[in-house]
């Protein structure tokens, strides 16, 4: 069934970025989640109240939160499809992230309340009256949640939706939680072992852990986390596939929500090429990035003197020194500026965030090692983070 729905909505990867398609898939996923979780909630709530089991009621409440989460996800997808306007020129796609944040808050509040109830049951234990009907409903719940896990995960990966993938993970976690409740119920029925309150507390803590994980991921996306390595790799391969491109650097990716990705980079081309030809090459690459990767790419043209032997030799020496200082350092935009009184080596140095040395320390070390090689040029270094 999942494959059929994917075939109806998503014909290729580009379709998954289309706001209309994403909204349709979000609506389908949201409605499916609301219906399934509402039914599970009602069944478990009735069984939990009849049996007087706090762990089953906790699991039922978890399904209720999942139903509410599906509703919020549905609303988030609908809001995210709104087009750009004067106040929001990059669109409204981040509503997906905001909906996930609201979902995490609901989960955390529910988990805290369930933990309070479970502690009360531990302090004053009361044996639940569990029937085999309860066991059957819990087993059916595990089967439904397993299907929902695959359903959400397949949809999320196909359209690149972190919200749906997180919902899939939450469904998988629900399987584990319900399995724990089921084992506790069987222990109560078969061995009269009082574990209901402890299992209820375990389910509550599991819910809290899940809510914290979703909140952390969503806040990271809203703050502007590092770009997906797979996307940066695809962008790099796309640009470098054009034979006139000698190298790229300063790749920056800005995420304004699914389907609203903007990027910029510097592309090196031979200074001997015709400027108009370079302009046409850059235009073609930017169009390819939008059509193939749905990324709004802006490229800055860096001309490189490929036939300057002295420049090539000096760049090789600086790159060798940079690698000895730290293997993550990289040099780009290298050029020689020759003046009447002094000659300058002007270049950019990309510094990984894990390098703890200050920019001044790095420059002093490069200058010292160049002097040891007998190079008396002045260095002018611009530092980039990477």
pLDDT tens digits for range 140-188 = 889 999 999 999 888 888 877 767 877 787 788 778 778 877 777 777 6
pLDDT higher than 70, residue 4: no
Which domains can be identified in the chain, with CATH numbers? Answer: 2-223 (1.20.1510.10), 229-304 (3.30.70.1350), 309-385 (3.30.70.1350)
Amino acid 243: pLDDT: 85
Q: How confident is the model at residue 375 (pLDDT cuts 50, 70, 90)?
A: confident
Amino acid 175: pLDDT: 81
Q: Which neighbouring-strand residues pair with 381? A: 347
Amino acid 16: pLDDT: 53
Amino acid 191: pLDDT: 67
pTM of the model: 0.59
| % of the chain beyond a pLDDT of 90 | 17
Q: How confident is the model at residue 127 (pLDDT cuts 50, 70, 90)?
A: low
Amino acid 202: pLDDT: 80
Amino acid 13: pLDDT: 46
Distances (CA, A) of 285 to 18, 56, 239, 244, 252: 21, 57, 6, 11, 16
The winner for highest mean pLDDT among 25-39, 54-68, 211-225 is 25-39
Q: How confident is the model at residue 115 (pLDDT cuts 50, 70, 90)?
A: confident
CA–CA separation, 145 vs 152, rounded Å? 10
Q: How confident is the model at residue 386 (pLDDT cuts 50, 70, 90)?
A: low
CA–CA separation, 77 vs 67, rounded Å? 16
Amino acid 365: pLDDT: 92
Q: For the residues of 186-225, what is the DSSP string, one character each?
A: HHHHHH----HHHHHHHHHHHHHHHHHHHHHHHHHHHHTP
Residue of higher predicted confidence among 206 and 385: 206
Chain mean pLDDT for the chain: 81
Residue of higher predicted confidence among 17 and 290: 290
pLDDT higher than 80, residue 285: yes
Amino acid 258: pLDDT: 66
pLDDT higher than 50, residue 79: yes
Q: Which of 132, 212, 289 is nearest to 267 (CA)?
A: 289
CA–CA separation, 105 vs 212, rounded Å? 9
pLDDT higher than 60, residue 43: yes
Residue of higher predicted confidence among 114 and 345: 345
Cα atoms found within 13 Å of the Cα of residue 373, Cβ hemisphere only: 15
pLDDT higher than 80, residue 121: no
| % of the chain beyond a pLDDT of 70 | 90
User: Among 250-259, 329-338, 373-382, where is mean pLDDT lowest?
Assistant: 250-259
Residue of higher predicted confidence among 228 and 277: 277
């Amino acid at each position: 069934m999942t494959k059929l729905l994917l075939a109806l909505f998503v014909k290729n990867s580009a379709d998954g970025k289309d706001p209309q398609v994403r909204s349709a898939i979000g609506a389908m996923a949201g409605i499916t989640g609301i219906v399934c979780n509402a039914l599970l909630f009602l069944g478990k709530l009735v069984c939990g109240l009849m049996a007087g089991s706090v762990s089953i009621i906790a699991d039922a409440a978890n399904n209720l939160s999942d139903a509410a989460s599906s509703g919020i996800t549905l609303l988030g997808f609908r809001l995210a499809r709104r087009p750009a306007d004067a106040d929001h020129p990059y669109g409204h796609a981040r509503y997906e992230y905001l909906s996930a944040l609201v979902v995490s808050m609901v989960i955390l509040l529910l988990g805290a309340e369930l933990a309070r109830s479970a502690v009360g049951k531990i302090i004053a234990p009361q044996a639940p009256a569990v029937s085999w009907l309860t066991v059957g409903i819990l087993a059916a719940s595990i089967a439904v949640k397993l299907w929902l896990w695959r359903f959400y995960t397949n949809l999320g990966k196909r359209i690149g939706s972190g919200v749906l993938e997180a919902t899939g993970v939450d469904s998988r976690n629900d399987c584990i939680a319900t399995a724990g409740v089921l084992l506790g119920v069987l222990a109560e029925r078969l061995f009269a072992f009082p574990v209901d309150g402890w299992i209820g507390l375990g389910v509550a803590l599991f819910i809290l852990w899940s809510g914290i994980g979703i909140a952390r991921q969503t806040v990271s996306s809203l703050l502007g986390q590092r770009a997906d390595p797979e996307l940066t790799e695809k962008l790099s391969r796309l640009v470098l596939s054009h034979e006139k491109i000698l190298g790229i650097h300063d790749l920056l990716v800005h995420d304004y929500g699914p389907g609203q990705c903007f990027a910029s980079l510097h592309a090196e081309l031979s200074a001997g090429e015709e400027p108009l030809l370079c302009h046409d090459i850059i235009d073609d690459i930017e169009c390819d990035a939008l059509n193939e990767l749905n990324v709004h790419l802006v490229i800055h043209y860096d001309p490189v003197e490929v036939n300057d032997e002295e420049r090539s030799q000096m760049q090789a020496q600086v790159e060798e020194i940079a690698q000895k200082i730290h293997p993550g350092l990289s040099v780009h935009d290298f050029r020689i500026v020759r003046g009447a009184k002094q000659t300058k080596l002007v270049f950019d140095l990309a510094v990984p965030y894990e390098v703890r040395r200050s920019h001044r320390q790095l420059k002093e070390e490069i200058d010292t090692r160049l002097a040891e090689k007998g190079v008396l040029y002045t260095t002018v270094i611009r530092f980039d983070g990477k």
